[in-house]
Every structure is written in C-alpha cells, then in structure tokens.
Structure 1
Amino acid sequence: MTLEELETFLCIARVGGFTEASRRLNRSQPAISRRVHELERSLGAALFERSGRRVALTEAGLALLPYAEAVLASVRDAERAVRDASAGGNARTLSLVIVGTLADSHIVDALRTFESRFPQVEVELRTATSREVSALVRGGEATMGLRYFPDPDPRLESIPLGAERLLVVLPASHPVTAARLPDLRAFEGERWLSFPPERGRSDSYGHLLERLLAASGLTEPSITRIDSLTAQRRLVEAGFGLALMPTSSVREELRLGSLRAIEVESLDAGLPVVAVLRRRGYRGTLAGSFLDVLKDHTPELLTW
C-alpha cells in the first residue's frame, strides 16, 4: 500500500463518497477509484460498501481506519518537525481547523491578534463540522482543531475553552414578540429543528434540545432532524420551525432582522467549545502560543 492510497481511503471515509473525495483531493474520479482498487487488491479485502454515490466502511475498512490515520499523521508530523528544525526550531506554520460557526465568534479576533503577534507564521485555516475537525486532527492534516463538545476518542486531547450561549431562534414573523421569557411553555406545540443525535454520544448537540424541552415540561415535541446549521437557519427564516442555536451562528440574520432570538430565563444552555489536539502528536511551539492568545482575547467565550 502507498501513502496516496491511504490518503484516498481516509478522504472517502470522511466525506462518504468517491465524487466528493475526487473534488477534495483534486483528482479525477477514475484515479480515485483506481487507488482504492489497488489498496483493496493489496489487502485482499473490500474496504467500502457502495450504495449509489454513497459509501460506507466494511468491517475491513473499519479495522484499517485507525492505522491509516496513524500512518499519515506520523508522516505529517515528520514533515512539520523537519521544517521547524530547518528553520532553527522556529515553527513557521500553524495548521488549524475550526467549526464554521466559530468563524463568526471571538475566535476570529484571537486569530487576528495571533497573526499580528507572529507575523512570520502562516496560519493554514479551514472549516469543517465537529466530527470532521476531529478526523482532520487525528489524521495529522491539522495540528489543532476547535469544535463543539469534547471528543471522547482517547487518541485526542480535548481542552475546554468555555461554552457558547444558546438562544431560541424564530422567524421574524413569529407571533411571540417578547425578547425574554421565563420558560419554553409559550412554544407548546411548535415544530423544532435540531441535529440528529450522535450514536453513543449522550452529550451531543442532537440530544441537547430533547433534554431541554423535556425539562421545560414540553411533552412529545415535534423535532425535525436537519444535519446542517445553515439549512436550519434558512428553514427557520421560512417559518418551518424554531431552533436552539449558538449566538455566533445567527449574528448576521439577527442584524438584518430575518430572524429573532429570545432569551429564556430558565434555559441554562450552552455549547461547550474545546480545542482538540492529537495525544503524542507533534505540536511545535505554535499550538501553545495560539491557546495563550485565545485565553487573553476571547473572555466572552472562555472560562479557564
């Protein structure tokens, strides 16, 4: 097996399809299929079950996954370590991946401050979902990730950064006009939008709304599962339902007036934000420096 084959395997496993993997890797789909075929031939086992354009890992694919991540992470660590050593021990690049909604939070201010404090450093920044953030850090494609909720994977270290406040978000035309309510009972019978609960994760975003509604006495609520925060925002704007969202994700819509947010006094809810790093992975000096900047410049989010 080759590194290119393992990289292709991991990308397909992460995005769930050959077409999207070919786009992410900037390779033709025949080239992607050829790499997978060669990898499966060398291992003597099918790695993916194909269903239309979507694929899922077989038992053999699941067995390979952590080893493929470890191999590629070690190679990327080696490359970073050599580059830093060649620069006299002064790291020149920080590879960072963050959940997209955090790009509209105080973390952006921290990034600006970090770049002004370390002008010689290039920040390689990308956005992803929380699950993808962890996968990119595990595979060594990013040194550090910022995501919602700690990751229980023992290969990762989750460093708490505080919690982002959640608000009840509703369309501008909703009949409830109060800016503040004592509880959620005013929304009895409403449809809610939420993420699908993550299997085996009782603390996931998808479970959070269920618990909060139950605690408020709303029995058998109608919940529609939407796996995209952007789609949830658009559907709320269209009057399709209500949602519980982090402040940063709706700041622009609130400014424009297409959405309204209501503070609920009994709703003590927040999305925990964490930094994730790979245990025993190469970090250089910049990861710690960036965490220090986060601590100093995002007081509204962080509780250290």
Structure 2
Amino acid sequence: MTVEEIEAFTAIAELGGFTDASRKLNRSQPAISRRIRELEQSLGAALFERTGRSVVLTDAGRALLPYAEAALAAIRDGERAVREAAERPGGSETLSLAIVGTLADSHLVEALRTFESRFPESSVELRTATSREVSALVRGGEATLGLRYFPDADPKLESIPLGVEKLLVVVPAAHPVTARRLPGLRAFEGERWLGFPPERGQPDSFGHLLDRRLPAMGLAGAPITRVDSLTAQKRLVQAGLGVALMPVSSVREELRIGSLRAVEVDDLDAALPVVAVRRRRGHWSRPAAAFLEVLRDHTPGVLD
C-alpha cells in the first residue's frame, strides 16, 4: 500500500468518481485506475462499486476510509512539522485555513490583518468550502484549522465555539410581507421554504433547523424544498419560488442592492453556532495556535 494509492482512494471516496479524483491529483485517469486496481489486489477486496458514471464505497472501502484519511493526515502533519523545524528561526511558516465562504467577512479580515501584523514571517493559505467540506479538509490534513457552522460530531475533530450568527427570514424584493420585524412566523403560512438537506450523523446541522423551528412556531407541515447550495437558495428566493432562513453574512450584498429583503422574527430563536475545528491528534502549528487566539479576540459573541 503506497501513499499514491491511498491518495487516489481517498480522493475518489471524497469526490465520487475517478475523473474528478484525477483532476484533483493532477494525474491521468488511467493512472488513478491503476493505483486503485493495485490497492484492491494488495488488500484482496474490492473498495468501490461502479454505478454508471459514479462509484460508491463497498463495505471494505468504508472500513478502510478512516484509516486512509488518518494516514494521509499524519503524513501531511509530518511534512509540516519538518518544514517548520527547518525554517525556524526567521523563516516563513504557513497557516492553512479552510472556511465557509460566508464567514469571510469583516471579522475574519480584521483577524487576518492582526495576525499578519504580529507574525509577518507567516503566510496564509485560505480555501473556501461548505461546512462538511471544511471538516473533510481538516480531517484529511489539507487544512490545519477550519471555520464552519455547527460543531462536528466526528470524535476525531475538536470543535471550538467562537460565537453565533443571527438568522433572518429572507424573502423576494416584491414579497407581500413588507414588515422588517415580526413577532412570529404566522405571516408566512402557506409559503414554501428552501433549506439545506439534513446531514447524516450531524443532528445539529443547518439542514435540521427548519424541521425543528417551523413546527415549534406553528407551521408544522410547511413544504420544504431541499437545496444544497446557498447561492442557489438565494436565486430561487429572488425568483419568488420560496422563502428561506439564512445567516445575515450570506445576504449582505443582496440586501444592500435590494434584490432580497430580510425580516427579523422575534420568537424565532434561531442562530448558527460558528466554530473552529481541528484534529484532536493533529499537528498544531505555531501559526494556527496564534491565529485561533487572534480570531477569538476579533469574534464577538453574536456575529452580524
């Protein structure tokens, strides 16, 4: 079992296909297929089941995946630790961050400015992703620190609370409800809601929020359309195909130009916890530790 075989295996498992994995690893598809074939031969078991153009993990593949992810993460940790040891003192160190795109707001910008002023020798690598993808990048060692919504239930990850982000009911510009603030959700009776699909194994994920809050506020049975993209949700709301519950950071520009409107609801009692995630046994670099402290200083209890 080689590192290249493990990389190919985890990339296919993450992306669901050989073509996407070959793009990610910058290798030809035949080379990726050969690595998987050799890995399956060495283990004596099929790791993937081909279903048309996509592939899914077999039972053997699911059994291998957490160990493969841990092995790659350990290798990446070792590479970082050696680089940091070789570059000190006076050399540059890299902070590898993965964040949900909507969290790249003024709080993060100020934290990055402060970090760079205190640690000018360090550089920053920043990747944006969904909450699920942020955790996957941290779990696989591709990012040292992640910022996402809701704690991750994975016992291999530590979720560090940073604050909560207020949620607003977002409606199209021409929606008949014109109030900026309402005591409850009754004005939206009969509306179709747009929300994220629930995540398996993540009972506190954003996707479960509407399922809990709508019945609690008298809208049991309200129709919900599941859309796995925040951008797509906004476009559908703009087109008048539903209303949505969204973090304020995700709609600032649309509210500014008037393509969407937001309604604050007094009794909604819904907010998104914002957390930093890191691997419990992962390499914790000096820049990552320093940035987490800076981020805590620049993150108020309620993000707005």
Q: TM-score range by the shorter chain?
A: over 0.9
Q: How well do the aligned residues superpose, as a CA RMSD in angstroms?
A: 1.5
Kindly state the Cα deviation for residue 121 of structure 1 after the two structures are TM-superposed.
Answer: 0.7
* Contact 2:22–2:32 (Cα < 8 Å) also in 1: yes
Kindly state the Cα deviation for residue 91 of structure 1 after the two structures are TM-superposed.
Answer: 6.3
Q: Summarize deviations over 1:6-58 as a string: whole Å, max 9, x none.
A: 11111111122222222222222222222222211221211112222222211
1:251 maps to 252
Kindly state the Cα deviation for residue 185 of structure 1 after the two structures are TM-superposed.
Answer: 0.4
DSSP-derived class of the 2:153 partner: coil
Kindly state the Cα deviation for residue 300 of structure 1 after the two structures are TM-superposed.
Answer: 5.6
Structure 2 counterparts to residues 202-241 of structure 1, below 5 A:
202-241=203-242
* Contact 1:149–1:274 (Cα < 8 Å) also in 2: yes
Change (3 A) 1:293 1:301: farther
What is the one-letter code of the residue matched to 1:261?
A
Change (3 A) 1:158 1:52: same
Kindly state the Cα deviation for residue 105 of structure 1 after the two structures are TM-superposed.
Answer: 5.2
Number of matched pairs:
302
Structure 2 CA distance for aligned equivalents of residues 301 and 68 of structure 1? 38
Structure 2 CA distance for aligned equivalents of residues 236 and 28 of structure 1? 41
Q: Indicate yes or no: 2:57 matched with 1:54.
A: no
Change (3 A) 1:43 1:105: farther
1:101 maps to 102
1:281 maps to 282
Instruction: Using structure 2 for the length normalisation, give the TM-score.
Output: 0.95
Structure 2 counterparts to residues 1-304 of structure 1, below 5 A:
1-88=1-88, 92-104=93-105, 106-299=107-300, 301=302
Kindly state the Cα deviation for residue 113 of structure 1 after the two structures are TM-superposed.
Answer: 2.3
Change (3 A) 1:291 1:301: farther
Unaligned runs of 5+ in 2: none
Kindly state the Cα deviation for residue 118 of structure 1 after the two structures are TM-superposed.
Answer: 1.6
What is the one-letter code of the residue matched to 2:59?
E
DSSP-derived class of the 1:86 partner: helix
What is the one-letter code of the residue matched to 2:76?
R
Kindly state the Cα deviation for residue 206 of structure 1 after the two structures are TM-superposed.
Answer: 1.1
Structure 2 CA distance for aligned equivalents of residues 52 and 252 of structure 1? 41
Structure 2 CA distance for aligned equivalents of residues 104 and 258 of structure 1? 20
Structure 1 CA distance for aligned equivalents of residues 105 and 47 of structure 2? 38
Unaligned runs of 5+ in 1: none
* Contact 1:113–1:293 (Cα < 8 Å) also in 2: yes
* Contact 1:91–1:285 (Cα < 8 Å) also in 2: no
Structure 1 CA distance for aligned equivalents of residues 237 and 52 of structure 2? 31
Kindly state the Cα deviation for residue 260 of structure 1 after the two structures are TM-superposed.
Answer: 0.7
Structure 1 CA distance for aligned equivalents of residues 198 and 25 of structure 2? 30
* Contact 1:164–1:272 (Cα < 8 Å) also in 2: yes
DSSP-derived class of the 2:40 partner: helix
Q: Summarize deviations over 1:113-139 as a string: whole Å, max 9, x none.
A: 212322211111111111111111111
* Contact 1:83–1:91 (Cα < 8 Å) also in 2: no
Kindly state the Cα deviation for residue 155 of structure 1 after the two structures are TM-superposed.
Answer: 1.0
Structure 1 CA distance for aligned equivalents of residues 131 and 55 of structure 2? 20
Q: Which moved more, 1:42-51 or 1:265-274?
A: 42-51
Change (3 A) 1:151 1:224: same
Q: Summarize deviations over 1:214-256 as a string: whole Å, max 9, x none.
A: 1111121000011111111111111111110111111111111
DSSP-derived class of the 1:106 partner: helix
Kindly state the Cα deviation for residue 264 of structure 1 after the two structures are TM-superposed.
Answer: 0.5
What is the one-letter code of the residue matched to 2:52?
G
DSSP-derived class of the 2:128 partner: strand
What is the one-letter code of the residue matched to 1:199?
R
Instruction: Using structure 1 for the length normalisation, give the TM-score.
Output: 0.95
What is the one-letter code of the residue matched to 2:18?
F
Kindly state the Cα deviation for residue 182 of structure 1 after the two structures are TM-superposed.
Answer: 0.7
